[in-house]
Amino acid sequence: MYQDFIVQKWSIWPPLEGQESDSLAQNELLSFVPKMLKRRLSPLARIVFCAASQCIEEGTYLPAVFSSTHGELAKSFKMMEMIEQGEEISPTAFSLSVHNSIAGLFAMAYKNKQQCVVVAPGEEGLAAAFIEAIGLLQEGVDDVLMVLYDEPLEAFYPSSPYKLSMATSCALALRIGKKGFGTSLRLSMQSEVGDDGEQPLQVPLMIQFLAGKQEKLILQTPRHSWCWEKR
């Protein structure tokens, strides 16, 4: 079993050759967001928007698949600390702490009324978002926007022996379709098992694969492997 699709465009945030302060570039990419909405964007939401903005042309509205292992967990953690201290929690923080809150803000900021899915992929890693996006293509959608993002997991959470966090935040956006110019990829499942870690560890490997000459990317999970192959 395999699935073919084309990566028409991809982008990341922060940039690979990032300077210490990307905040100017970030502000520029976010300049279209109304001020009253912008104040609601967390650092994670900002990098999602910055990565996605580079994959979308103005005035085009795409169905979207968001995927994040931890989402806005940092926000939930802060609220739990406040509860522990006996303080009342912020209704704004509460409303923006759920797993699909960034997707909701995205829909508002980009005026995107297309369907939208948010995945918490666990050990399947970034394959889960690809499967979801390919499913949308098979339903007849032309192009799909994918955004894969995570920030470092709060040190409070005991994660060992699972590999599920990186030291830095990163967002990778892709626009995939059945047709169009770009990189043709084939996704297939294979039987080898292993542990390449969850999505936060896989995203940098996917970026390397997309940016470089490497023909294949195989990511092993405890149940099977996923293979992305350039055609």
Binding site for another protein (CB under 8 A): 35-36, 39-40, 88, 90-92, 95
Task: Give whole-number Cα distances, 189 to 17, 166, 183, 217, in Å.
Answer: 33, 25, 19, 12
Location of structure tokens 């704004």: 92
Choice between 59 and 91, CB closer to another protein: 91
User: Residue 179 is encoded by which pair of tokens?
Assistant: 């047709």
Provide the minimum distance between the beta carbon of 89 and another protein in the complex, in angstroms, as a whole number: 9
Pairing mode, strands 64-67 and 183-190? unpaired
Choice between 39 and 113, CB closer to another protein: 39
Nearest to 71 by CA among 35, 96, 108: 96
Choice between 89 and 218, CB closer to another protein: 89
CA 223 to CA 193: how far, in whole Å? 6
User: Residue 74 is encoded by which pair of tokens?
Assistant: 């940092």
Provide the minimum distance between the beta carbon of 83 and another protein in the complex, in angstroms, as a whole number: 14
User: Residue 171 is encoded by which pair of tokens?
Assistant: 């967002």
Provide the minimum distance between the beta carbon of 231 and another protein in the complex, in angstroms, as a whole number: 47
User: Residue 138 is encoded by which pair of tokens?
Assistant: 């098979």
Task: Report the interhelical angle of 43-53 vs 101-109 (nearest 10°).
Answer: 50
Choice between 27 and 138, CB closer to another protein: 27
Choice between 95 and 184, CB closer to another protein: 95
Provide the minimum distance between the beta carbon of 41 and another protein in the complex, in angstroms, as a whole number: 10
Instruction: Determine how many CB atoms are found less than 10 A away from the CB of residue 127.
Output: 22
Provide the minimum distance between the beta carbon of 104 and another protein in the complex, in angstroms, as a whole number: 12
